[in-house]
Structure 1
Amino acid sequence: MNGLARWVPRLMIAMAVLHFVWAVTQPNSWSDILHDGFVATAVDPDTNGFDAREATVWFMTAGLAFLALGTLARHVVRATGSLPPQVGWYLLGIGIPLCAIYFPTTGSWSMPVIGVLALMAAREPDRRHRRTGRRRPRDMRPPGAAPSVPAAARSTPILAPESEGGPDHVVPS
């Protein structure tokens, strides 16, 4: 597992935490949303405080999305030792339009930056195969995983049911 593959999920989770913090500390409208009944309280643009309500919901939802993608990426890196390139493409696909169209002067630029880092991490070979330049084989067990034993190598014979020759009849593996 390369260092960049470990850091990309951490950066996504950090981005999620920043969104959660911003959603509850910025001038938000959680009290207005709760006071109006919570359901469909941020859909009418003519409502007083619509922009604050929209920003509050937007930051909380984006934080949940980043948290989901970051924790899933962390799980994949721990299980396989590598980061799939799709993570980088997803972040670029979401981040570039956000930067160019919607939020050009905010922190949205961090999403394409993390997306590029994710693509770099996906291309970097695993350290165990650095000398040969090969990527880690997909069928290699992750560190700490129990070895899989094929049926032919089992030391305990499989006993057939009594209907197929009794309990002493051994079924070849």
Structure 2
Amino acid sequence: MWAYQKAGWMLVAIGVIHCVIGLILSWDIVAVWSEAGWWHSIESTDTMHMDRFAVLWFQVAGMGWIALGWLMQQWLQRFGSLPPALGWVLLATGLLVAYVLPISGAWLFIPLGVRVAMRPGAALKPV
């Protein structure tokens, strides 16, 4: 029951870890990007800096998970349970990413997704 009631905070933690690891692993890219002046420095007329693009979207994904986790906690406090479909999406995301990128944090989404999909007290009823 505890893991279910704290599922949003778990996703916030995953997002924070994602952002921190992303910054640590890409610090050299961030430094060059900073030297370029940030503004309009991912794409220019003849160059697309895919490394900077990847770092940007890595951080955007982490911030998205932080926001979704916070929203999940607010939802839990207000309604007491999360939509099971959210759990299935988290599970599918974890399975897909873990399959194509096994050395990653995607594995964290699998138990979280299962926990959200199979909410406490929900009996499995035959169709």
State TM-score, norm by structure 2. 0.76
What is the SS of the residue equivalent to 1:115?
Answer: helix
Which amino acid letter does the alignment assign opposite residue 31 of structure 2? S
2-structure distance, mates of 1:37, 1:12:
29
Kept after mapping to 1: 8 A contact 2:42/2:53: no
Q: Aligned runs of 1:1-173 on 2, under 5 Å?
A: 2-28=1-27, 29-34=29-34, 35=36, 37-39=38-40, 41=42, 50-51=50-51, 53-101=52-100, 103-120=101-118, 122=119, 124-125=120-121
State how far apart, in whole Å, the 2-side matches of 1:21 and 1:4 are. Answer: 23
Aligned length: 119
Per-residue deviation, 1:17: 0.8
Corresponding residue SS for 1:117: helix
Q: What is residue 171 of structure 1 aligned with on the other side?
A: none
Structure 2 unaligned residues grouped into runs of 5+: none
How much has 1:77 moved relative to structure 2?
A: 0.5
CA RMSD of aligned residues (A): 2.6
2 CA distance for matches of 1:32 and 1:16?
A: 24
Runs (4+) of structure 1 exceeding 3 A deviation are: none
One-letter amino acid of the counterpart of residue 125, structure 1:
G
Amino acid in the other structure paired with 2:17:
L
* Percent of aligned pairs sharing the same letter: 26
2:103 partner SS: coil
The Cα shift of 1:62 comes to 1.4
Cα distance in 1, alignment partners of residues 9 and 74 from structure 2:
11
Structure with larger RCO (C-alpha < 8 A, sep 6+): 2
Closer, same or farther: CA 16–111 of 1 in aligned 2, 3 Å: same
Distance 1:77 1:105, change over 3 A: same
Richer in helix (by share):
2
Task: State how far apart, in whole Å, the 1-side matches of 2:73 and 2:58 are.
Answer: 22
Largest Rg, 1 or 2 = 1
TM-score by length of 1: 0.58
Question: What is the distance in 1 between the residues matched to 2:54 and 2:106?
Answer: 14
Structure 1: how far apart are the matches of 2:21 and 2:65?
14
Distance in 1 between the 2:96 and 2:13 partners?
Answer: 21
CA distance in 2, matches of 1:20, 1:109: 16
Taking structure 1 as reference, are residues 42 and 125 closer, same or farther at Cα in structure 2, changes over 3 Å only? farther
Unaligned stretches of 5+ residues in structure 1: 127-132, 134-173
